[in-house]
């Protein structure tokens, strides 16, 4: 991995000065074309050994590019707002939008590597981190992000020499911290871990680019040229060409003769009498209220997802949940068309931004599953996009669960007849008529397509950490009680786990 | 202020149950109309004495309204990301967008009141806080926010009784914290401070609504009806009618015979030889770099603003500043047309979101001054809007300065002839041609209008805490050095102050 980077590449001042003007001009041109087209974002990861000139090289890039459209972020210790959410949240919130460049120092590689070198994590945990990273980067590149991962390398001797040089010079002394020397003393262990991580994460869509860090001109030119080449290639390619051109095999669902599927298997006659409903409701709301004030909830969060056909009773069920909670504690996120800023980001970005802190709840009225439901059925995205969404969603939910979130996903199912009845009722009831739109009637015509998409979604995304709860919701009382019971039970199970 | 609220208003269960269905229906209708029109946001402030039912009332509102478009936020202790910015930043980031409702508990009134009651601040500091609040609320209402400030009141006896009641009941005991009892023991002092604050901040545009908190039905109905009335009135009014219908007197600038103004008084012949430039540049960049690494900068931030005619050399000057800093430390914010999410917020929101943390720099390429420059000249906003912007901007900058930000505002002036020369040059130079657009040529035709707007802006917004630095920039070398010298001097002065 590091053989070439230990050869001690250099570039003479003459060659550097000769090449630089043309490189800068072309970089600025490519950057302007990127900004104008807003076709994709560019993300540079800057990693490597201390003293290999990471900061200097990035400063050079800032000088060469138009710095107004480049954003460098150094991720040091997480802030308290970041610590109370899944680890990847801080990277999501800093992602550059389409048309811009982002440069991440101290990114998602730092913590897994450092912890492993210092023996703070086991091998299996490193494996898990690598797998998270692979999935995340796959998602980024599938979403069109031009991802360039630079590794700045120095040999053991080279690093020692460099740190000594920097320490001797009064003007550069501040750059060498005691931590750098401490890290240097672990060079061999560090190198071994890094080599492994680089090997496993150097994929076709996001290969590592190892840069010999011993000569400042050489490394800057290498990075500049690599960036330019990648930018030019991508700009020259036709839009969408980064995507897999050959569709992957799609699972074919064979319908059995009875047309049975998970939705049709639901017992839609389930119901509750009003009296039973009232009694249960009061008890469950009290129970949920208690749970939300349990001290153990302060290191947990609650994420609920409500999906289902229009007029399935999502709003009513959500209100029974929220009225058990304190208004300061939850946020209902109604998912509608993405905003301009959201459209300039990977698909899941607009959900990540609403991930609650510990001690809080987020209730999604429709959710990230829109990708594999409405966007699939209405052809708002390409087949490749919604096919890969299953795995991306499972990753996302796994990260939520791993960070302590209790995740409850409800599918509120109503029959076609019951939906029609409710549509008519809404049309004719004063304060409900705002709830019914032309779109609702249109969606109804695609009942079968939605049913198929739903069954596939449930199959793909009902996991042990985040199972789907399918609720027969022809009877609203029954549905609301089922929802509340599930949330209470899952919170209790989570608390008991501790 | 509190006389009526101490009368012990009550509402019978029968009356409450009779009225509620109609109130809910109308609230939902008004909320739906608001959401559809997206004309303005609604912000409810919830303040008052402990035990007066603030939380319960808001929970009731959440039940009555469509909770998907209501966001309640409780501001407790600030997070570390909030502590490192001006105190109002946390409120700005939580403002509801047009069409939605926000409910703020523990808002901008809490801290000034609590600190004063506990003797942690002097009278004059409270005065200052009140003045900040008045300006902020004036800005909100001028921007169209429907601001409803509710004060939940209880008499001294009433509060004691309430807290005892809550403590006796097993299910409500958790609501009463030791802090509540502690606060209650300061009731008289608390009341005195609050009465004064309420009096001074009960303005025509944002009056206080004092609610008797002793009866849960009465207070909920009072708040619900008030909200409904305010919503309906505002929705029925024609758009823009909340704005002052009569224009305030506008200062008339009398031109003297020579046509002298601050821009024309600049000595545009100032220049530097290349050799002098190079020497000074290196020294100043070194000096700025040292300053940015000074330990004292870790409790400071740097905010630079660059304005001036097109082709005035803003980009070049910015690059000389950024290349003195570490890329991880600064962010350049190019100000272009606002995004959809930004358009749904008060004007200054899109600048507040880029306010840097301590130890960091934000460099604005064009800025909030667009309101009184391009938006004024091109009539993108109404005269009222840009006229009030002067005071709003001064407030904003004062908050920045008070929180430790060092603010440097540069006007890079070029003459009409020099601008023309640069436009031609840009047209003909490969890697500069992306910098020139049709709009630049159009703006040039309005030279005089821009000049007038600029002079008035400088007059109105060059304050002792945030002076404008006018830089004759026909010679780029001279301008860049002047910019760097100013930044260094202002940082040094700020450090010396400590």
Query: pLDDT by residue (tens digit) across A171-230?
Result: 777 778 888 888 888 899 998 899 889 888 888 788 899 899 989 999 999 999 999 999
From A356's Cα to the closest Cα of chain B, the distance in A is 12
Domain boundary among B216, B236, B256: B236
Within a domain: residue B243? no
In angstroms, what CA-CA distances link A305 with A290, B6, B351? 21, 44, 33
Contact B174 A72 (CB under 8 A): no
Note whether A279 and A227 are same-domain residues.
no
Same domain, A372 and A289: yes
Question: Which CATH number does the domain housing residue B399 bear?
Answer: 3.40.50.300
Q: Within a domain: residue B264?
A: no
Residue B441: pLDDT over 80: no
At residue B167, does pLDDT exceed 90?
no
Bridge pairing between strands B330-334 and B70-74: unpaired
Q: Kindly state the average pLDDT of the residues A411-423.
A: 93
Distance from CA of B222 to the nearest CA of A (A): 19
Do A9 and A77 have their domain in common?
yes
Give the mean pLDDT of chain A.
89
User: H or E stretch including A407?
Assistant: strand A405-413
User: Are residue B232 and residue B298 in the same domain, yes or no?
Assistant: no
Same domain (yes/no): A198, A118: yes
Are residues B224 and B93 both part of a single domain?
yes
- Tokens 């002047």 found at: B482
Say which DSSP state A474 is in.
Answer: S
Is the residue at A262 inside a domain?
Answer: no
Give Cα separations from B177 to A162, A286, B48 (angstroms). 58, 20, 16
In a domain, A405, yes or no: yes
> Given this model, what pLDDT does residue B178 score?
84
pTM, two decimals, is 0.81
**Which of A185, A207, A236 marks a domain boundary?**
A236
Predicted local confidence at residue B199, as pLDDT: 83
A72 vs B: CB within 8 A: yes
| Contact A482/B at CB under 8 A | no
**Digit-coded pLDDT (tens) for B303-331:** 999 999 999 999 999 999 998 999 999 99
Q: Are A374 and A380 in contact (CB under 8 A)?
A: yes
Q: Give the number of domains in chain A.
A: 2
What is the C-alpha to C-alpha distance for residues B53 and B213, in angstroms, rounded to an integer? Answer: 6
Shared domain for B69 and B115, answered yes or no, is yes
A207 and chain B in contact, CB less than 8 A:
no
Give the Cα separation of B495 and B498 in Å (integer). Answer: 6
Residue where the block lists tokens 């966001």 = B71
Shared domain for B191 and B298, answered yes or no, is no
Alpha-carbon distance of A69 to B438, in angstroms, equals: 21
Pair A367, A307: CB distance under 8 Å? yes
> How many residues comprise chain A?
498
To the nearest whole Å, the CA of A6 is away from the closest chain B CA by: 27
Residue A55 lies in a domain: yes
User: Which strand ranges, in their side-by-side order, compose the sheet holding A146-153?
Assistant: A70-74, A101-105, A42-48, A146-153, A208-212
pLDDT tens digits for range A437-467: 777 777 778 888 999 899 989 988 888 889 9
Q: Is residue B254 part of a domain?
A: no
- Whether residue A441 sits in one domain with residue A332: yes
Please give the residue of chain A at the shortest CA–CA distance from B64.
Answer: A319
Mean pLDDT, residues B375-394 taken together: 89
pLDDT at B478 over 50: yes
**Torsional class of A275: left (φ above 0), alpha (ψ -120 to 50), beta (otherwise):** alpha
Q: Is the pLDDT of residue B247 over 50?
A: no
Which residue segment(s) compose the domain that A37 sits in? 4-236
Tell me what pLDDT residue A246 has. 42
**Contact at CB, B55 and A80, closer than 8 angstroms:** no
Chain B CB within 8 Å of residue A75 CB: no
Which has the minimum average pLDDT: A16-25, A201-210, B122-131? A201-210
Instruction: Give the residue-averaged pLDDT of B231-256.
Output: 64
Minimal Cα distance from A29: which residue of B? B431
Give B393's Cβ-side CA count (13 Å radius).
26
State the pLDDT at residue A356: 94
CA distances from B232 to A303, A372, B71 (A): 34, 40, 20
**Partner residue opposite A79 with nearest CB, options B81, B293, B333:** B81
Is ipTM > 0.85 here? no
CB B62 within 8 A of CB B168: no
Distance between start and end Cα atoms, chain B:
42
The residue behind tokens 């449930």 is A458
Dihedral angle over CA of A10, A12, A15, A16, nearest 10: 80
Tokens for B35? 């959401």
Query: Is residue A30 domain-resident?
Result: yes
Nearest Cα residue in chain A from B22 = A431
User: Is B269 a member of any domain?
Assistant: no
Residues A231 and A278 in one domain: no
A301 against B178, higher pLDDT: A301
C-alpha span between B35 and A158 (Å, rounded): 63
3-state SS assignment for residue A434: helix
Q: Does A110 touch chain B (CB under 8 A)?
A: no
* Res. B184 pLDDT band, cuts 50 70 90: confident
| Residue A418 in this model has a pLDDT that exceeds 90 | yes
Residue A364, strand partner residues: A305, A333
Residues A68, B24: C-beta atoms closer than 8 Å: no
Task: Residue A55: list chain B partners with CB under 8 A.
Answer: 326-328
Confidence tier at A433 by pLDDT (50, 70, 90): low
**Contact call for B322 and A365, based on CB within 8 A:** no
**pLDDT tens-place string over residues A270-286:** 999 999 999 999 999 99
- Same domain? For B344 and B415 the reply is yes
A340 and A206 co-located in one domain:
no
B residues 402-431 lying closer than 8 A (beta carbon) to A: 430-431
Q: Does B7 touch chain A (CB under 8 A)?
A: no
Mean pLDDT, range A45-52, rounded to an integer: 92
């Amino acid at each position: 991995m590091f053989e070439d980077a230990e050869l001690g590449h250099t570039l003479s001042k003459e060659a550097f000065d000769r090449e630089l003007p043309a490189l800068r001009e072309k970089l600025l041109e490519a950057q302007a074309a990127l900004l104008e087209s807003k076709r994709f974002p560019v993300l540079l990861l800057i990693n490597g050994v201390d003293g290999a000139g990471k900061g200097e090289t990035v400063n050079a890039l800032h000088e060469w590019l138009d710095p107004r459209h480049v954003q460098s972020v150094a991720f040091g210790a997480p802030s308290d707002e970041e610590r109370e959410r899944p680890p990847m949240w801080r990277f999501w919130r800093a992602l550059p939008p389409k048309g811009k460049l982002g440069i991440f120092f101290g990114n998602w590689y730092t913590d897994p590597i450092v912890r492993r070198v210092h023996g703070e994590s086991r091998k299996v945990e490193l494996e898990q981190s690598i797998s998270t990273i692979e999935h995340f980067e796959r998602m980024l590149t599938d979403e069109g992000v031009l991802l360039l991962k630079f590794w700045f390398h120095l040999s053991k001797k080279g690093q020692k020499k460099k740190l000594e040089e920097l320490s001797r010079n009064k003007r550069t002394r501040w750059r060498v911290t005691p931590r750098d020397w401490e890290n240097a003393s672990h060079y061999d262990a560090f190198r071994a871990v890094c080599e492994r991580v680089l090997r496993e994460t150097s994929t076709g869509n996001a290969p590592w680019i190892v840069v010999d860090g011993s000569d400042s001109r050489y490394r800057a030119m290498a990075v500049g040229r690599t960036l330019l080449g990648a930018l030019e290639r991508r700009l020259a390619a036709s839009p969408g060409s980064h995507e897999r051109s050959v569709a992957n095999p799609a699972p074919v669902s064979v319908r059995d003769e009875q047309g049975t599927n998970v939705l049709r298997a639901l017992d839609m006659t389930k119901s509750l009498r009003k009296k039973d409903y009232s009694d249960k409701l009061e008890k469950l709301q009290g129970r949920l209220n208690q749970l939300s004030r349990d001290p153990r909830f302060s290191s947990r969060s609650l994420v609920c997802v409500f999906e289902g056909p229009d007029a399935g009773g999502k709003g009513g069920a959500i209100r029974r949940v929220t009225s058990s909670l304190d208004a300061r504690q939850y946020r209902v996120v109604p998912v509608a068309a993405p905003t301009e800023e959201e459209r300039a980001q990977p698909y899941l970005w607009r959900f990540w931004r609403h991930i609650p802190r510990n001690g809080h709840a987020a209730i999604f009225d429709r959710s990230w599953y829109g990708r594999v439901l409405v966007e699939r059925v209405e052809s708002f995205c390409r087949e490749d996009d919604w096919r890969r969404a299953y795995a991306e969603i499972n990753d996302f939910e796994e990260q939520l669960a791993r960070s302590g979130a209790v995740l409850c996903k409800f599918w509120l199912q109503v029959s076609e007849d019951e939906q029609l009845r409710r549509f008519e009722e809404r049309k004719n009831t004063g304060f409900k008529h705002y709830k019914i739109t032309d779109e609702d009637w249109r969606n109804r015509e695609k009942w079968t397509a939605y049913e198929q998409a739903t069954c596939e979604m449930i199959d793909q995304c009902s996991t042990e950490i985040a199972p789907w709860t399918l609720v027969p919701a022809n009877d609203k009382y029954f549905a609301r009680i089922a929802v509340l019971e599930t949330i209470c039970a899952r919170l209790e199970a989570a608390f008991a786990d501790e």
